[in-house]
Amino acid sequence: MGEVDLAFFQDPDHRPKLSITEAEGIPLINLSPIISTPNSISDPIAIEGVVREIGNACRDWGFFQVINHGVSLDKLLKIEAVARKFFALPLEEKRKIMRDEKNILGYYDSERTKNVRDWKELFDFTVKEPTFVPSSPDPEDREVIEWYNQWPAYLPELRVVCEEYGREVEQLALKLMGLIALSLGLPEDRFTSYFKEQTSFIRLNHYPPCPSPELTLGVGRHKDGGALTVLAQDDVGGLEVKRKKDGEWIWVKPTPNAYVINVGDSIQVWSNERYHSVEHRAMVNSEKERFSMPFFLNPAHYTIIKPLEELTNEENPAKYKPYSWGKFFAHRQLSNYKKLNVENIQIHHFRVSE
């Protein structure tokens, strides 16, 4: 993966900190009461319990894990297997579908871009094809472009497995949005219209073994800008979450067949900060490679993100000014390919001064 620039880690904000605790894990929630099966009988009390657990987790952690989530184990095993096949291909083959500023879907490796922040390689694909996005973050530019997935001709099964998996995990993500809406005292379908032409995508991550894991990160500390992230990770682990109550970094122990869910910035704004998006990062391993597969649930590009009217009043006024998700998203994507003259856009740029 290339040489590590040690000077980069002289900055204490980026240098990995080793004070990690496992004393208190993120909440684990059983979704079986809300997952329909042929012989299941709805139990309103059990469903209310799930909604309450999700609300508490979103408020106190911004993260939780779910089991009995409805995504078939077969689909999970297949996508991990095909991801391993893809990343095992020769580098020159993977780079034939390299993503770039014009087509952000496809393959990326940090060695080529000399990005010492992230020790990994990845493959991105959208769940809706084409996906419509603004051509630039410029507010005056009204052009909308279409994104199409890049699939390797030398591994045709990748497309089949990824598309099948994408359909199932999308259903889970939208179901979770309904439960989050209920936990906020809103109708279950309150967020549905925002995802009719969603800009969601799935990322296959491969973190090779790193000879000096204390000097780099798989992914640096960050928050997710969209609505919700649904993460599958292998048994190696490496995800760490910054605990809200004390700022401690918590290692998320892998739970078999579970998904890790985290609140994105959009939910923080929609909920008017009842729920918070929190920082997280991925650590690398000196001996083992690691695979993970996050699904980023993002709204349609034309969605205006702002605190919901139902959750604001004179005593609790809106904490954010409205902003365009499409322009926000385009700005964040552009920063992956070029150094911008301004700070990468964050939701705090839209926060109302108190």
- pLDDT tens-digit series, residues 86-123: 999 999 999 999 998 778 899 998 765 444 556 789 99
Identity at 209, one-letter amino acid code: P
Domains in the chain, start-ordered, CATH in brackets?
A: 6-350 (2.60.120.330)
Which residues lie across from 204 on neighbouring strands?
123
pLDDT-derived band at 5, boundaries 50, 70, 90:
very low
Give the model's pLDDT for residue 215: 57
Q: Helices 157-183 and 73-87, interaxial angle, to 10°?
A: 130
Model confidence at 209: pLDDT above 50: yes
Identity at 156, one-letter amino acid code: P
d(CA 58, CA 259): 15
Give the model's pLDDT for residue 118: 65
d(CA 22, CA 65): 15
Q: 318 Cβ partners below 8 Å, 6+ apart?
A: 272, 306, 307, 312, 352
pLDDT-derived band at 12, boundaries 50, 70, 90:
very low
The token duo for 99 is 């993503």
The token duo for 320 is 């954010």
Give the model's pLDDT for residue 183: 97
What pTM was estimated for this model as a whole? 0.89
Sign, CA torsion 26/276/136/166: positive
The token duo for 177 is 């949005």
The pLDDT mean for the chain works out to 86
Residue 286 CA to chain centroid, in angstroms?
Answer: 25
Which residues lie across from 126 on neighbouring strands?
201
Among the residue ranges 13-22, 72-81, 131-140, 325-334, the one predicted with the least confidence is 13-22
**Residues 226 and 194 sit within 8 Å (Cβ to Cβ):** no
Model confidence at 7: pLDDT above 70: no
Give the model's pLDDT for residue 22: 39
Give the model's pLDDT for residue 262: 97
Closest CA to 94 of 111, 76, 77: 111
